[in-house]
Chains A and B, each alone.
Chain A
Amino acid sequence: MGIYIKGMGNISPQNSWRDTPLLANPIDYTGDRLKCIEPDYSQFVDVKQLRRMSRIIKMGVAAGAMALREAGLNTPNGIITGTSYGCLEDTGIFLSKMIENNENALNPTPFIQSTHNTIGSQIALLLQCQGYNQTYTQRAFSFENALIDALLDLKDNPEQSILAGGVDEITDFSHELQKRFGIFRRKSSSSLNLFKEQDRGTLNGEGAAYVVLSGIRGEGNAICLDSVETFYKPLKTTFREKIQAFLESAELKADEIDLLMIGKSGDKTWDMESDKISSSLFSSSSIGVFKHLCGEYPTASAFALWLSVSIMKDKKLPDVVLQKDCSRPPNNVLIYNSYFGKYHSLILLRTC
C-alpha cells in the first residue's frame, strides 16, 4: 500500500530550505563541525514566543512548518519526532546552573525545555494539534522509528496525515565532549572532500528534517515511502540475506535499485562494511553519499530522506552527491544508513 510523501522541510548545513536548484552551491566547511543554515524563524512563529524557544525547538518547529506548507496542510493528525540527544542546550544550561548555584534559585525554564518531547510538543501546542504525539530516542534509529510508527498508523488510517521528523543539534559542550571520544577528523580543510581523503574520523553534523506522510495520493506524480527496517548489531554473516529479504518484501531485487544512498561516515574503518555491501549487492546501482553535506549525527537519515526524495522529484542526481553513476533514472531508491557499526537501517522509496 502506498504511503505518499506530501511535503518536506529541512534545516541543515546546506541551503536546503531556499528555493535554489538542489545543492546548486554546496557549502564546504573546514574543521570538524558543520552548522545549520537557519531561516528567519519569525516567518513561522510569533516573535514573542520565539524568544522563549531554544535553537533546536525553533529548528524543529520551522522544519515542521515548511513540510506542512508544502503539503498544503494547516495541522496534521499526528506528530512523531525522532531525536537522540534531545534538547542539549537547555540540558547543559540547567545542569551548569545547578552546579554553579549549588542547587539554589534555579530557573525552571531550561529544565522544562530539556525533555526530548519538547520539540514535538511545541509543534502540537503551536498548531493546537491534540492528535497522536510521540517522540523516539533510540540513537541512530530515532528517525527510522518515527517513520515505522507513521507507516503503522497510516496502514490503519490511510486518510490521515502524519508529520514525522528527525532532529539533533550540536552545542559547544556536546562538541567538546564528543571530540574527546576521538570520533572526528583531526584535520579537515574541506567537508565536501570527506570521501576523497581517506582517513579515520567523521565530521560532526546537525539538522532538523520533517516530512508529511499520507495514504491519500493526491494529483500528479507521487513518491512513496515503501518500507523501513532497523538492524541493531546485525551479524555480518546474515546481514546481506536480511537486506535481500527486506527488498523481497517489496517485491524487488537488489539489481532493481536505481540509486543506493549510503550513509557512510567518512571514517575509513566504519565505512568498510558499507562499501563491501554496496559493491557485492548493488554493483549495478548508482551510488550516492550524503554525510559530507550534513555531517554525522544520529538523525542524519532524515537529511538523506529529504535528499533522496528531492533527487527523485528532479529526476537528477547532483554531482556533489554522486559517487558512482550508472545512469539509471532514480525510481527505486534505497537509503542504507549505518552508524558506528552498531546501527544499520534501510529506507525504501519508490516513484508510484
Chain B
Amino acid sequence: MKGRVHVAGTGIISAIGNSVPDSLLSFKNHFSGIGKVTLFNTIYENDLPVGEVRMSNAELSDKLSYHPTISRTALLGIHAAREAVRSSNIDLGKWRTGLISATTVGGMDRTESFFNSFLKDHSKGKLRDVVHHECGSSTELIADDLGINGFVSTINTACSSSVNAIALGARLINHNRLDVVIAGGTDALSKFTLNGFNSLMILDRQPCRPFDAGRNGLNLGEGAGFVVLISDRVKASVGLNTQCYVNGFANTNDAFHQTASSPEGRGSFGAMQKALDMSELSPEKIAYINLHGTGTLNNDLSEGTAVKRLYGDKYPRVSSTKAFTGHTLGASGGIEAVFSILSIQHQCVFPNLRFETPIPEISITPQLNFETGLDVNHVMSNSFGFGGNCSSIIFSKS
C-alpha cells in the first residue's frame, strides 16, 4: 500500500446508543439493546427479540429535518454519517470526496407497506413509499444530505456489505482517486427481513448467545455505522491527530452454499488470513477480534473453526457484539468497524454477553467483561454473509 488510510471520524446509531459515546457507555454497563419489536405489527412481536434503535421514524425525521415518510434505512444512515463527518472536522467540499454506503434492506421498510395496497389493486399504494426502494436511493439521500456529488456507490453483499464499502474506500484513496471517503452501511428493521430470517429458522426466540454451546440463532438488529477515511495528504494538510488507520482487509467467497458456511470455515479463514497478509501482521499481533458471531449454530461453529485453524489454543481476546446490538445485517460491518476503532481509541475490549459454555468442538471462551487498560494495537473485525461473501478488516493504532 502506498501511504496510509487514516480514520478521521466515526458515527454510529444502533440499539445500544444513538452516538459513539453512548455506545461506549452501553458496553461499559453491559447494557444490551435487545428487546421486543415495536416498529411494525407482526404476529411475532412476543416471540422474536430484536435490537431496535430507540428512536421512532417521527423522532428521527424531526431531528434530521426530513419528511417522516422517508425510508428508515436512509434516516439511520444520515444520522450516523452526520456524526462521522462532524467528528472528523473535515471540510468535505475542499477535497475529492466520495460516499460508499452499504445496505441490504434499502427502502423495503416503506415498500412493504406499499405492497399491502398494491397487491390488491395495482393502482393503489402511495408512490412516495417506493420511490426510494432501491438500495442506491438511500445512499443518494445520504450523499445529498452531506453535499457529496463526486463518487457515490452502494455495495450489497449481504452481511459483509459495509466492510467491503470501507475496503473500497481505502483502495480508492490508495490509488489516489479520492482524498476523503465516508464509508459504512445502514439497515433498518423490516417485516420482510424478520419473516425472511424466520422462514430460515435461524432466529433465536430468546436474546441471542453468540459462541455459546446452547446458542439457538440470531436476533435481528438495525442501525448504521460510518467512518471517515482520509489520505496522508489530507491528514498533513488539516493537521489532524488521528488515532488509527486501515491496515488490511480481504474479501473471499466460501463457494459452499447459498446460506450456510462450509464446516471448515474456508471462506472465513481465507478472509482473515488474507487481511493479515495484507497488513503484514502475524496472527498473534491481533489483540482483539470482533467476531461476526451471529449466534447461529452454523456461523459460530464455522467461524470458530476458522479462528482455531489460525490460532490453535493461543487465540486473542474475542467477542461478538451482536449480543448487544443484534445482527444489523448490511450495517454490521460498519457498526462493528466503529466498535473496533473504539477498542483502539480506548484501549479496551468488549464483552460477549450471555456466554456460559464453550462450543465443545472448538473450545473458545470469549471475553466476558468490558476491560480497559490493555495494549490494543491491532483489531480485526469479521463479517460473513449469505452467498458466501466473507470479509475481514484490520484497524491498527497510529
* Residues in chain A within 8 A of chain B (CB atoms): 79, 84-86, 94-96, 98-100, 102-104, 106-108, 111-118, 120-122, 124-125, 127-139, 141-142, 145, 149, 152, 155, 173, 176-177, 180-181, 230-235, 342
Q: Which of B114-172 contact A (CB under 8 A)?
A: 115-116, 118-119, 122-123, 127, 130-131, 134-137, 139-140, 143, 148-158, 164, 168, 171-172
Nearest chain B residue, comparing its CB with the CB of A128: B255
A106 to B44, CA, bound (A): 13
* Interface SS of chain A: mixed
Of the listed stretches B18-26, B282-290, B337-345, B382-390, chain A binds: B382-390
Give the residues in chain A near B153, CB-CB below 8 Å.
136, 138, 141, 145
Give the residues in chain A near B164, CB-CB below 8 Å.
134
User: How does the 8 Å CB contact mask read for B245-280 relative to A, with 1 for contact and 0 for none?
Assistant: 000000111111111000000110010000000000
A104 to B267, CA, bound (A): 34
Contact A95 B200 (CB under 8 A): no
A-B contact pairs, 20 of them (CB 8 A): A86-B135, A94-B196, A98-B191, A98-B195, A108-B201, A112-B200, A115-B387, A120-B157, A121-B388, A128-B255, A130-B253, A130-B267, A133-B253, A137-B154, A139-B140, A141-B152, A142-B136, A177-B130, A232-B148, A232-B152
Contact for A137 among B42, B155, B251, CB less than 8 A: B155
**CB of A327, distance to nearest CB on chain B (Å):** 36
Contact for A149 among B118, B131, B168, B267, CB less than 8 A: B168
Contact for A115 among B43, B104, B137, CB less than 8 A: B104
Give the residues in chain A near B191, CB-CB below 8 Å.
98, 103
Contact B199 A129 (CB under 8 A): no
Contact A107 B258 (CB under 8 A): no
Give the residues in chain B near A145, CB-CB below 8 Å.
153
Q: Does B233 contact A (CB under 8 A)?
A: no
Contact A135 B157 (CB under 8 A): yes
Contact for B253 among A98, A115, A131, CB less than 8 A: A131
Q: Does B311 contact A (CB under 8 A)?
A: no
Contact B387 A120 (CB under 8 A): yes
Contact A98 B192 (CB under 8 A): yes
Give the residues in chain B near A94, CB-CB below 8 Å.
192, 195-196
Q: Does B175 contact A (CB under 8 A)?
A: yes
Give the residues in chain A near B201, CB-CB below 8 Å.
108
Give the residues in chain A near B116, CB-CB below 8 Å.
99
Give the residues in chain B near A132, CB-CB below 8 Å.
251-253
**CB of A294, distance to nearest CB on chain B (Å):** 19
Contact A95 B115 (CB under 8 A): yes
Give the residues in chain A near B168, CB-CB below 8 Å.
149
Nearest chain B residue, comparing its CB with the CB of A92: B115
A177 to B133, CA, bound (A): 12
Give the residues in chain A near B150, CB-CB below 8 Å.
232
Which 10 A-B residue pairings sit nearest by Cβ, starting from the closest? Answer: A121-B387, A111-B196, A108-B199, A116-B156, A139-B136, A133-B253, A106-B199, A138-B136, A137-B135, A232-B152
Q: A129-B253, A138-B135 are in contact. List 6 more A-B contacts (CB 8 A).
A: A104-B43, A124-B255, A133-B389, A134-B155, A137-B134, A145-B153
Give the residues in chain A near B135, CB-CB below 8 Å.
84, 86, 116, 137-138
Give the residues in chain B near A131, CB-CB below 8 Å.
252-253
Give the residues in chain A near B198, CB-CB below 8 Å.
106
* In the complex with contacts A98-B192, A106-B195, A133-B136 CB distance below 8 A: no
Contact A134 B149 (CB under 8 A): no
Q: Does B371 contact A (CB under 8 A)?
A: no
A98 to B387, CA, bound (A): 23
Contact B199 A111 (CB under 8 A): yes
Give the residues in chain A near B389, CB-CB below 8 Å.
117, 121, 133
A121 to B253, CA, bound (A): 8
* Residues in chain B within 8 A of chain A (CB atoms): 42-44, 104, 111-112, 115-116, 118-119, 122-123, 127, 130-131, 134-137, 139-140, 143, 148-158, 164, 168, 171-172, 175, 191-192, 195-201, 251-259, 266-267, 270, 385-389
Contact A102 B43 (CB under 8 A): yes
Contact for B386 among A98, A112, A177, A231, CB less than 8 A: A112
**CB of B39, distance to nearest CB on chain A (Å):** 15
Give the residues in chain B near A134, CB-CB below 8 Å.
155, 157, 164, 251
Nearest chain B residue, comparing its CB with the CB of A78: B251
Contact A232 B115 (CB under 8 A): no
Nearest chain B residue, comparing its CB with the CB of A101: B195
Give the residues in chain A near B154, CB-CB below 8 Å.
136-138
**CB of B268, distance to nearest CB on chain A (Å):** 11
**CB of B264, distance to nearest CB on chain A (Å):** 12
Give the residues in chain A near B175, CB-CB below 8 Å.
152, 155
* In the complex with contacts A94-B196, A98-B191, A112-B259 CB distance below 8 A: yes
Contact B192 A138 (CB under 8 A): no
**CB of B79, distance to nearest CB on chain A (Å):** 21
A100 to B118, CA, bound (A): 12
**CB of A338, distance to nearest CB on chain B (Å):** 15
A100 to B270, CA, bound (A): 42
A342 to B143, CA, bound (A): 13
**CB of A258, distance to nearest CB on chain B (Å):** 27
Contact B136 A103 (CB under 8 A): no
Contact A115 B386 (CB under 8 A): yes
Contact A130 B134 (CB under 8 A): no
A100 to B130, CA, bound (A): 20
Contact for A103 among B122, B158, B195, B258, CB less than 8 A: B195
Give the residues in chain B near A127, CB-CB below 8 Å.
255
A128 to B252, CA, bound (A): 12
Contact B155 A136 (CB under 8 A): yes
**CB of B389, distance to nearest CB on chain A (Å):** 6
Contact for B388 among A125, A135, A173, A180, CB less than 8 A: A125
Nearest chain A residue, comparing its CB with the CB of B104: A115
Give the residues in chain B near A137, CB-CB below 8 Å.
134-136, 154-156
